[in-house]
Amino acid sequence: MYRTKTCGELRLANAGERVTLAGWVQRTRKMGGMTFVDLRDRYGITQLVFNEERDAALCEQANRLGREYVVQVTGVVGERSNKNAKMETGDIEILAETLTVLNVSATPPFTIEDNTDGGDDLRMKYRYLDLRRTAVRGNLELRHKMAFEVRRYLDGQGFLEVETPVLVNSTPEGARDFVVPSRMNPGQFYALPQSPQTLKQLLMVSGFDRYFQIVKCFRDEDLRADRQPEFTQVDCEMSFVEQEDILQMFEGMIRHLFKTILGLELAPLPRMTWADAMKYYGSDKPDTRFGMRFVELMDVLKGYGFSVFDSAAYIGGICAKGAATYTRKQIDQLTEYVKRPQIGAKGMVYARVEADGTVKSSVDKFYTQEVLQQLKAAFAAEPGDLILILSGDDAMKTRKQLNELRLYVGEQLGLRPRDKFSCLWVIDFPMYEWSDEEQRLMAMHHPFTSPKPEDIPLLDTDPAAVRANAYDMVINGVEVGGGSIRIHDAQLQQKIFEILGFTPEQAQTKFGFLMNAFKFGAPPHGGLAYGLDRLVSLFAGLDSIRDCIAFPKNNQGRDVMLGAPGALDPIQFDELQIKVDLKKG
Amino acid sequence: MYRTKTCGELRLANAGERVTLAGWVQRTRKMGGMTFVDLRDRYGITQLVFNEERDAALCEQANRLGREYVVQVTGVVGERSNKNAKMETGDIEILAETLTVLNVSATPPFTIEDNTDGGDDLRMKYRYLDLRRTAVRGNLELRHKMAFEVRRYLDGQGFLEVETPVLVNSTPEGARDFVVPSRMNPGQFYALPQSPQTLKQLLMVSGFDRYFQIVKCFRDEDLRADRQPEFTQVDCEMSFVEQEDILQMFEGMIRHLFKTILGLELAPLPRMTWADAMKYYGSDKPDTRFGMRFVELMDVLKGYGFSVFDSAAYIGGICAKGAATYTRKQIDQLTEYVKRPQIGAKGMVYARVEADGTVKSSVDKFYTQEVLQQLKAAFAAEPGDLILILSGDDAMKTRKQLNELRLYVGEQLGLRPRDKFSCLWVIDFPMYEWSDEEQRLMAMHHPFTSPKPEDIPLLDTDPAAVRANAYDMVINGVEVGGGSIRIHDAQLQQKIFEILGFTPEQAQTKFGFLMNAFKFGAPPHGGLAYGLDRLVSLFAGLDSIRDCIAFPKNNQGRDVMLGAPGALDPIQFDELQIKVDLKKG
């Protein structure tokens, strides 16, 4: 060992001990005949002192240390005269006796500080230096702890972690696969798993009873801030369970995480139906850190000659408490926000509740104060509140626009603090959603999801109305996990495939191995999967999942540090019997 | 929940309780007016009893159950009249009151028993049924426990599990990579990692201090029984350590595993130099469950006119205690064994120590009894022992042949029981080995391995003699893990690359990103990696790693259950801008 102690553990109680530390030079300061060096390792920072009077040569050696040099120091722990209450080691310093430079360092391209001067691109290229920053490394320490606590909880509940293969077959009905040419089977390709969905269902057929895996999954999709081509799931499945059992089990897991990681006792998770989530929040992942629930206004505002509302299929609004102080400019900016093409509203109506209780709106010429008072009553609005209203000819689309407005205003009003957590289950998802693109019903979750038993008769008469035994866990407006009870009955599965538009032959081609397995005694089963990257970034209070991933890829799917992807050797093409076939243009 | 209890937990103390169980029908027996059903789940087997007198309809229903039907049963726990001491639930049975068939099953293609009638191919095709067998599932339960205990130990030692990416760049100096075409970067490819070696070294540069990961790795090599295209490593790295620190840390880990998993207190691990391992066992992974160490016989047997020995560069033998009873036929069979092309010995000489102490050898005409007594003394052989001798013109090759003979005879004599464990460290590996194929020195471990400080002067004069700070952990003749102290000094690394025959430009191209990282203050570091598949198979007493992997691939790299690899859709080729380019022939 190059050290007897770390840079994070010495306290006043250690005063007088001779210790050896090793770490990186955070900074050096020369003050009179003294040189101070902050020595950093994963565990903290400790101040070293070199005294010119005592040992001029050693002090001179310390003066020559550059930032990020790796050094080993032996010395005696002493009490600081000038204590630093912000540092855990701030009561002590090391009176250095020997100094060994273990390695020099070139000047880093950015400062190794919590608030670095390095831009994103530079930090990605030198990710190994970026990871030296306490803030970034802290996220990965958190990730380790969370993964460990997930395992501890699930192991305690009798779950077995089973590794499923990475080189698999293409996923039917999924996103785009990454593929891997097989040298031993020329012309054939493996796919990387988008999730171990079918394999975990096979493990249930095998009687594994309770399975989990913290596992890398892969989707070749165009990337955004919260998407990576490879991401990590906490993937779980249970046999002989109903939906309630799964909700209880994984509510227990998230409570365990909040308690062990953040020291928070979580209240029992509320449950909201998908229909209510859409009705009151315009989103299947409502941010419930704040209220501002939608109020439908068709009965209140229709029929007074305002053609925008009179022709609308949906009129709804939110009430921003105390936001009547918004200036005209601020309100215009909200209007601009909802009119952006990404959101697509045609306009926004507002109404202020004045100090005297009267309501002043942007459409006063169509509405009497009496109607406006009804509006106020619909929201139980009070003086000082601001009512914001959207309308449109498609109720669902308008609700989604109103959701964006709600989140935006909530952010402006400081109602979405990162250290407050609001968790819930969204349940009773529809089985199907209509795809304009494919002109057919698509499985909302996946084709193995079980309908609610009481809705099974509707499969024949009104499949779009059938609700699934599917559920999502939502925290602060982020879907952190989701799953369903699966179909274990071959006849019901056949019917579901029919509704999805598959012939028996197509179903056999796409899902044959799973359907064959189900012939041999599939137990009732269900499960869910959490996105670990998202869960960690929520706990860490991060906007993006990138900083809780050690070596993330950029929006072009590149690792600029490794230089991946890259060119292949001609011999590799030859062995794999493939070639590049670039499109013109 | 479909059950109140599992099939493994009921005991006599539960007698009188009304319980609900769910599971698979292992078998049914009709005896007089009673039908007995063995119900199986992951946790055990419980006997159900249906009484025709009490409920004829229910009993009839039970009589119609087929093997592997999934059923739910409610009944009262009763004491068995005919107890089965072999089963943990053998004292009780369930007097069934209701029976629900949750799912039917087709007749499985093989029996779901520890000793199944299914052949390997059939079992692989129906792996989900094979996994129902208690023996196979037990291996995966063991694997879960071992991985969990590895994590518990390393977490307790301050290691952080950090996930490194799966989509990376090609590994320089490694085996063949699996590659993944990048849709977003046409004509470019990711590689799947052969190990996270360079990434874990970058994490040390980042100051992570103690890293581990249980991680899938990939090698596109031709397959054997103990190789899979994807395999799992316990990958570890530490900073500010010397070799001794790593040996202590991971000796601690293996002791933890033996204790928590097998209940065995492991003796401190002996250490053997690579040179001694080759000298005494002809292998860098000696099976030390038994002795039979090599004795060199050049001084004893050379120069008596037996031209085979007189011209040999190496003569050595082993002494099989008590094996003088081997018949001529058995000895001929040993000779045939070492003469097989895979081993390649030219012949074998034997010598028996008779009851009267005289020695009788197959080359008596060349040697006097006096010389043969010296031979006996060299082995400290006793009456009843059998001495087996090989020779050759290449000492290393002959030792390897003698190693094969030693293992074979050890197996025949029952000296290699699977429930006995002998662990050791093999240390002081050479830095380099000569490659006849490449006509250059190759890194024995990898090019980042540090030489022993005292051997550094030899780099200039006799590089082939330089020993590395490299070490393997060997259990029962299996290399379960290995690693090294890495080079953290840029100049030394440069010199090592030169000896390996790289120009500075080539080194930069191949290892540039790591060498660049090392410019910014790399700490002294080192680590090792265990093969989890091998470790589990050793603990499970398996010959092959396959049965401790849930969904293994066959020797053609195929998953016959999933049908992977398979053909791609034309649209996938189009998106990826590649095409298949099959060789003629």
Predicted local confidence at residue B225, as pLDDT? 64
Residue A133 C-alpha, separation from nearest chain B C-alpha, in angstroms: 9
- For tokens 């530079």, the residue is A122
| Three-state SS at B152 | helix
Predicted local confidence at residue A536, as pLDDT? 98
Distance CA B328, CA B312 (A): 25
Predicted local confidence at residue B4, as pLDDT? 98
Assess whether A141 and A245 both reside in one domain: yes
Would you list the DSSP string of B330-396?
A: HHHHHHHHHHSTTT--S--EEEEE-TTS-EEETTTTT--HHHHHHHHHHHT--TT-EEEEEEESSHH
User: Is A279 within the bounds of a domain?
Assistant: no
Would you list the DSSP string of A234-265?
A: EEEEEES--HHHHHHHHHHHHHHHIIIII---
| Three-state SS at A93 | strand
Assess whether A159 and A263 both reside in one domain: yes
- Closest residue in chain A to residue B564, using alpha carbons only: A169
Could you tell me which residues come within 8 angstroms of residue A180 by beta carbon, excluding any fewer than 6 positions away? A167, A189, A190, A191, A192, B178, B179, B180, B192, B565
In chain A, residues 68-97 whose CB comes closer than 8 Å to chain B? 68-70
Weakest-pLDDT range from A194-208, A310-324, B218-232, B547-561: B218-232
| Cβ atoms < 10 Å from Cβ of B251 | 17
Q: Which of A143, A148, A189 sits opposite B151 (nearest CB)?
A: A148
Per-residue model confidence as pLDDT tens digits over B105-134: 999 999 999 888 888 899 999 999 999 999
CA-based nearest residue to A389, from A317, A324, A328: A317
Assess whether A154 and A255 both reside in one domain: yes
CATH of the domain at B98: 2.40.50.140
Please give the backbone phi and psi of residue B179, each rounded to the nearest 5 degrees, phi first: -125, 160
A103, A125, A156: which is the final residue of a domain?
A103
User: Cβ contact (<8 Å) for A24 and B207?
Assistant: yes
Specify the pairing of strand A478-485 against strand A525-531.
Answer: antiparallel
Stretch B325-331: mean pLDDT, rounded? 96
Q: Which of A141, A185, A553 sits opposite B565 (nearest CB)?
A: A185
**Which band of pLDDT confidence, cut at 50, 70 and 90, is reported for residue B246?**
very high
User: Cβ contact (<8 Å) for A209 and B42?
Assistant: yes
User: Is A110 within the bounds of a domain?
Assistant: no
CA-based angle A517:A531:A266, to the nearest 5? 115
Predicted local confidence at residue A585, as pLDDT? 62
Quick check: B138 contacting A, CB < 8 Å?
no
Predicted local confidence at residue A173, as pLDDT? 63
Distance CA B139, CA A236 (A): 20
User: A181 to chain B: which residues are within 8 Å by CB?
Assistant: 179, 181
User: Cβ contact (<8 Å) for A513 and B563?
Assistant: yes
Specify the pairing of strand A470-475 against strand A92-103.
Answer: unpaired
Q: Which of B128, B164, B523 sits opposite A103 (nearest CB)?
A: B523
Quick check: A165 contacting B, CB < 8 Å?
yes
User: Cβ contact (<8 Å) for A580 and B187?
Assistant: yes
A103, A119, A154: which is the final residue of a domain?
A103
- In contact, B570 and B134? CB cutoff 8 Å: no
Q: What proportion of chain A, given as a percentage, has pLDDT over 70?
A: 99
**Which band of pLDDT confidence, cut at 50, 70 and 90, is reported for residue B172?**
low
B interface mutation test: which of A21, A37, A72, A103 has the most B CBs within 10 A? A103
Predicted local confidence at residue B437, as pLDDT? 80
Per-residue model confidence as pLDDT tens digits over B346-366: 999 999 999 999 999 999 999
User: Is A435 within the bounds of a domain?
Assistant: yes
Q: Which amino acid is at A422?
A: S
User: Cβ contact (<8 Å) for B132 and A206?
Assistant: yes
Is the per-residue pLDDT at B420 higher than 80? yes
Distance CA B14, CA B28 (A): 23
Is the per-residue pLDDT at A352 higher than 70? yes
Predicted local confidence at residue A427, as pLDDT? 98
Helix (H) or strand (E) run with residue A25 in it: strand A18-31
Is the per-residue pLDDT at B585 higher than 70? no
User: Cβ contact (<8 Å) for B176 and A575?
Assistant: yes
| Cβ atoms < 10 Å from Cβ of B117 | 9
Predicted local confidence at residue B512, as pLDDT? 82
Per-residue model confidence as pLDDT tens digits over A228-269: 999 999 999 999 999 999 999 999 999 999 999 999 999 999
Distance CA B408, CA A430 (A): 64
Would you list the DSSP string of A347-374?
A: --EEEEE-TTS-EEETTTTT--HHHHHH
Is the per-residue pLDDT at B536 higher than 70? yes
User: A182 to chain B: which residues are within 8 Å by CB?
Assistant: 557, 565
Weakest-pLDDT range from A439-443, A554-558, B170-174, B351-355: B170-174
Calculate the alpha carbon distances from B208 to A49, B350, B526 in Å.
25, 57, 13
Calculate the alpha carbon distances from B251 to B239, B267, B474 in Å.
17, 10, 11
User: Which residue range forms the structural domain that includes residue A34?
Assistant: 12-103
Quick check: A221 contacting B, CB < 8 Å?
no
User: Is A369 within the bounds of a domain?
Assistant: yes
Helix (H) or strand (E) run with residue B189 in it: strand B189-191
- In contact, A568 and B178? CB cutoff 8 Å: no
Assess whether B262 and B148 both reside in one domain: yes
Assess whether B318 and B397 both reside in one domain: yes
**Which band of pLDDT confidence, cut at 50, 70 and 90, is reported for residue B544?**
confident
CA-based angle A271:A276:A280, to the nearest 5? 115
Is the per-residue pLDDT at B505 higher than 90? no
* Highest mean pLDDT out of A448-462, B242-256, B439-453: B242-256
Helices (H), A413-545: 458-461, 490-499, 504-517, 532-540
Predicted local confidence at residue B173, as pLDDT? 63
Quick check: A328 contacting B, CB < 8 Å?
no
Q: Residue B565: is the preceding peptide bond cis (ω within 30°)? A: yes
User: Is A126 within the bounds of a domain?
Assistant: no
Is the per-residue pLDDT at A188 higher than 70? yes
- Closest residue in chain A to residue B104, using alpha carbons only: A521
User: Cβ contact (<8 Å) for A165 and B559?
Assistant: yes
Distance CA B108, CA B133 (A): 12
Per-residue model confidence as pLDDT tens digits over A139-187: 999 999 999 999 999 999 999 999 999 999 987 667 899 999 999 999 9
Please give the backbone phi and psi of residue A488, each rounded to the nearest 5 degrees, phi first: -115, 5
- In contact, B286 and B399? CB cutoff 8 Å: no
In chain A, residues 29-58 whose CB comes closer than 8 Å to chain B? 40-43
Could you tell me which residues come within 8 angstroms of residue A204 by beta carbon, excluding any fewer than 6 positions away? A211, A237, A238, A239, A486, A522, A523, A525
| Cβ atoms < 10 Å from Cβ of B254 | 21
Q: Which of B1, B126, B563 sits opposite A242 (nearest CB)?
A: B1
B interface mutation test: which of A1, A105, A157, A206 has the most B CBs within 10 A? A206
Is the per-residue pLDDT at B432 higher than 80? yes
Predicted local confidence at residue A207, as pLDDT? 98
Question: How is residue B389 written in tokens?
Answer: 């001798």
User: Is B277 within the bounds of a domain?
Assistant: no
Assess whether B235 and B264 both reside in one domain: yes
Assess whether B259 and B142 both reside in one domain: yes
- For tokens 């300061």, the residue is A29
Residue B101 C-alpha, separation from nearest chain A C-alpha, in angstroms: 10
Assess whether B459 and B544 both reside in one domain: yes
Quick check: A558 contacting B, CB < 8 Å?
yes
CA-based nearest residue to A561, from B173, B357, B569, B520: B520
User: B186 to chain A: which residues are within 8 Å by CB?
Assistant: 580, 582-583
β-sheet bridge partners, residue A431: none
| Three-state SS at A203 | helix
User: A68 to chain B: which residues are within 8 Å by CB?
Assistant: 520-521
Per-residue model confidence as pLDDT tens digits over A10-41: 999 999 999 999 999 999 999 989 999 999 99
ipTM exceeding 0.85, yes/no: yes
Per-residue model confidence as pLDDT tens digits over B53-87: 999 999 999 999 999 999 999 999 999 999 999 99
Distance CA A258, CA A420 (A): 12
| Cβ atoms < 10 Å from Cβ of A27 | 16
Assess whether B446 and B405 both reside in one domain: no
- In contact, A271 and A424? CB cutoff 8 Å: yes
| Three-state SS at A459 | helix
Would you list the DSSP string of A522-580?
A: PPPEEEEEEEHHHHHHHHHT-SSSGGGSSS---TTS-BTTTTBSBPPPHHHHHHHTEEE
Q: For all residues of chain A together, what is the average pLDDT?
A: 95
- Closest residue in chain B to residue A192, using alpha carbons only: B180
Could you tell me which residues come within 8 angstroms of residue B290 by beta carbon, excluding any fewer than 6 positions away? B410, B413, B415, B416
Predicted local confidence at residue B567, as pLDDT? 92
Q: For all residues of chain B together, what is the average pLDDT?
A: 95
- In contact, A546 and A246? CB cutoff 8 Å: no
CA-based angle B567:B572:B573, to the nearest 5? 85
Q: Residue A565: is the preceding peptide bond cis (ω within 30°)? A: yes
- Closest residue in chain B to residue A212, using alpha carbons only: B144
Residue B334 C-alpha, separation from nearest chain A C-alpha, in angstroms: 36
Assess whether B500 and B433 both reside in one domain: yes
| CA-based radius of gyration for chain B | 30
Per-residue model confidence as pLDDT tens digits over B215-229: 999 999 987 767 899
Count structural domains, chain A.
3
User: Is B239 within the bounds of a domain?
Assistant: yes
Stretch B371-395: mean pLDDT, rounded? 97
Assess whether A261 and A144 both reside in one domain: yes
Calculate the alpha carbon distances from B572 to A181, B181, B182, B543 in Å.
12, 11, 11, 40
Helix (H) or strand (E) run with residue A314 in it: strand A314-320
Predicted local confidence at residue B490, as pLDDT? 83
CA-based nearest residue to B204, from B521, B582, B569: B521
Question: How is residue B14 written in tokens?
Answer: 């539960």
Edge-to-edge strands, sheet with B423-427: B160-161, B210-218, B230-239, B525-531, B478-485, B470-475, B423-427, B271-273
Axis crossing angle, helix B274-281 with helix B395-412, rounded to the nearest 10: 60
Distance CA B484, CA B469 (A): 6
Distance CA B122, CA B560 (A): 9
CATH of the domain at B142: 3.30.930.10
Q: Which of B129, B178, B561 sits opposite A180 (nearest CB)?
A: B178
User: Is A368 within the bounds of a domain?
Assistant: yes
Q: Which of A165, A184, A230 sits opposite B230 (nearest CB)?
A: A165
* Residues across chain A: 585
Question: How is residue A277 written in tokens?
Answer: 């989530």
- In contact, A187 and B565? CB cutoff 8 Å: no
Stretch B232-252: mean pLDDT, rounded? 98
Assess whether B149 and B83 both reside in one domain: no
CATH of the domain at A381: 3.30.1360.30
